[in-house]
Amino acid sequence: MGKRGSWASRLGFYLVAIGSACGLGNLWRFPYVVGENGGGAFVLLYVLLVLLLGIPLLVGELMLGKSTGKSILTALGSLSYKGKPIFRVLGRISVLLCLLVLSYYTVISGWVLHFAIQFFISALGVHQASELSTLNILLRNGILQAGLASVHLLFCIVVVLKGVQEGLERFIGWTVPVFGVLVVLLVAKSLSLASAPNAVRFLLYPDFSKLALSSLGQAVGQVLFTLSLGFGTMVTFGSYMTHEHIPTASFRVATIDTIISLVAGLLIFPIALQASNTPLSDSGILFEVLPKFLLEMPGGVIFGFGFFLCLYLASLGASIGLLEVIVSNFVDRSRVDRGRATWLAGFVTLVLAFIPALSGMLMQRLKLGQRGVLESVDSLIINWILPLIALGLCFAITAGMQQKVKEDLFVNMEKVESEVLFSHWQWTLKWFIPSVISLGLFLQVVHAIKLFLEINSH
């Protein structure tokens, strides 16, 4: 294999794209954002946005990668508007964002690993299940968090070092199916709880009065994050693509990712409701309520191990995707080989990850509004910066890519409808998505001002 790689099979692309898309965003973030925004109406908004914003943008990112055969930095660098290469800076911001997100994603993945190990040890009977340490204890122990983050990052480095076919495709090739089987088993168990009907109602019954001004922006951010859009991940994966029809592939990846998010809701909400007094909007649902609840349930230790193993596999797949983007951009832009680029990217990420990991108690106590620091950074990146990048990407794909290139990649002679869809896709990217994102951002600003005035008037 040369400096760059390609997928060994069509399935390889799907597994890695889905492996990158399905992660903490689906199992940790989606349930609490849905809770924060009142349930069913937000879910409906989210699903509509997956179809009308997520899939078209995914098509655009994959096209950008496939047509240039490069990662986002070089791919955007090769586009121009009125003869000027103005998109390069967008690529730089994307890669920087990958680094930032990977650094806190690594810390949260470390928490997941911690609970998976704890449940495993309890299942073996080495210590009493009731001795399982809580999130609070973990948050106070910065060294433990840094250690767990380092182990997690080391796993990612080992896989990325092996390259596209040997590493990514082979590893994610077995984690994705295992993950799928475990999730189905867990949902079956969760839906057998007495609280299940209420939880399902909360998730699926749209009560529009519960939507807040910021809900649109949050839904946009969640769609972008969960489909790994705006980070350049899908551009990189597109660059390894050979003969896949991009719109079909995008539709499949987005559908599976959405199903996983909904299933995560079905899994978490019955448990959270059963544990009653915890608000469904709490980002700690997963790490505080769930372990406690599981311990009180017969067979809960095994169930807990299964759940956290599942979550860990998902976050590993997503972290590998993030690291791969940083590495592939590095390899494309420099003379550094894949091995060195991977170690270097891993090292920089680890240094950044130490900041949230080691600040332990401080981070836990410090609140910005109602949110903790980690959630505030997460919200800043996902609800504000990511939509801005997506706006830039829409413009880059619409105005920077050649019409002929886009048409060739979109229109498939065997799929007659693809010709009609092509013009819709262009329109969506040019007008619809920028309008929705701008409206979402505007409403978030109004919401923030309202909150600020309310806090100051008390």
Residues near ligand PFF (CB under 6 A): 20-21, 23-26, 225-226, 228, 231, 233, 318, 321-322, 325
- Comparing CA positions, the residue from 316, 320, 304, 296 lying closest to residue 116 is 304
Nearer to ligand PFF, 161 or 275 (CB): 161
Tokens coding 66: 């496939």
Q: How far is the CB of 253 from ligand PFF (least distance, A)?
A: 11
CA distance to 113, 234, 338, 390, per residue, from 87 (Å): 38, 17, 25, 12
Q: How far is the CB of 377 from ligand PFF (least distance, A)?
A: 14
Q: How far is the CB of 417 from ligand PFF (least distance, A)?
A: 28
Nearer to ligand PFF, 25 or 31 (CB): 25
- What distance in Å separates the CA atoms of residue 426 and residue 378, rounded to the nearest whole number? 31
Count CA atoms closer than 13 A to 123's CA, side-chain side.
16
Tokens coding 312: 């860990």
Q: How far is the CB of 277 from ligand PFF (least distance, A)?
A: 28
Q: How far is the CB of 262 from ligand PFF (least distance, A)?
A: 14
* Those residues with Cβ within 8 angstroms of residue 280's Cβ, 6 or more apart along the chain or in another chain: 31, 32, 34, 35, 39, 202, 269, 272, 273
CA distance to 66, 67, 114, 246, per residue, from 243 (Å): 10, 12, 41, 9
Q: How far is the CB of 233 from ligand PFF (least distance, A)?
A: 3
Q: How far is the CB of 201 from ligand PFF (least distance, A)?
A: 25
**303-331 b/e (C-beta count within 10 Å ≥ 16 → b):** bbbbbbbbbbbbbbbbbbbbbbbbbbbbb
Quick one: 206 exposed, middle or buried, by C-beta within 10 A (0-12, 13-18, 19+)?
middle
- What distance in Å separates the CA atoms of residue 261 and residue 275, rounded to the nearest whole number? 21
Q: How far is the CB of 370 from ligand PFF (least distance, A)?
A: 23
Rg (CA), the chain: 21
Count CA atoms closer than 13 A to 56's CA, side-chain side.
26
- Comparing CA positions, the residue from 148, 151, 96, 149 lying closest to residue 353 is 149
Nearer to ligand PFF, 101 or 129 (CB): 101
Q: How far is the CB of 389 from ligand PFF (least distance, A)?
A: 12
Q: How far is the CB of 395 from ligand PFF (least distance, A)?
A: 21
Nearer to ligand PFF, 145 or 233 (CB): 233
Q: How far is the CB of 94 from ligand PFF (least distance, A)?
A: 10
Nearer to ligand PFF, 102 or 129 (CB): 102
Nearer to ligand PFF, 115 or 225 (CB): 225
Which residues in 244-387 belong to E strands, given as ranges?
A: 367-368, 371-372
Nearer to ligand PFF, 330 or 410 (CB): 330
Residue pair 109/315 in contact by the 8 Å Cβ criterion: yes
The identity of residue 318, as a single letter, is: A
Nearer to ligand PFF, 202 or 225 (CB): 225
The identity of residue 279, as a single letter, is: P
- Comparing CA positions, the residue from 153, 155, 164 lying closest to residue 241 is 164
Count CA atoms closer than 13 A to 269's CA, side-chain side.
26
Nearer to ligand PFF, 45 or 260 (CB): 260
Nearer to ligand PFF, 146 or 260 (CB): 260
Nearer to ligand PFF, 122 or 233 (CB): 233
- Comparing CA positions, the residue from 95, 194, 157 lying closest to residue 320 is 157
The identity of residue 366, as a single letter, is: L
Q: How far is the CB of 228 from ligand PFF (least distance, A)?
A: 4
Nearer to ligand PFF, 290 or 311 (CB): 311
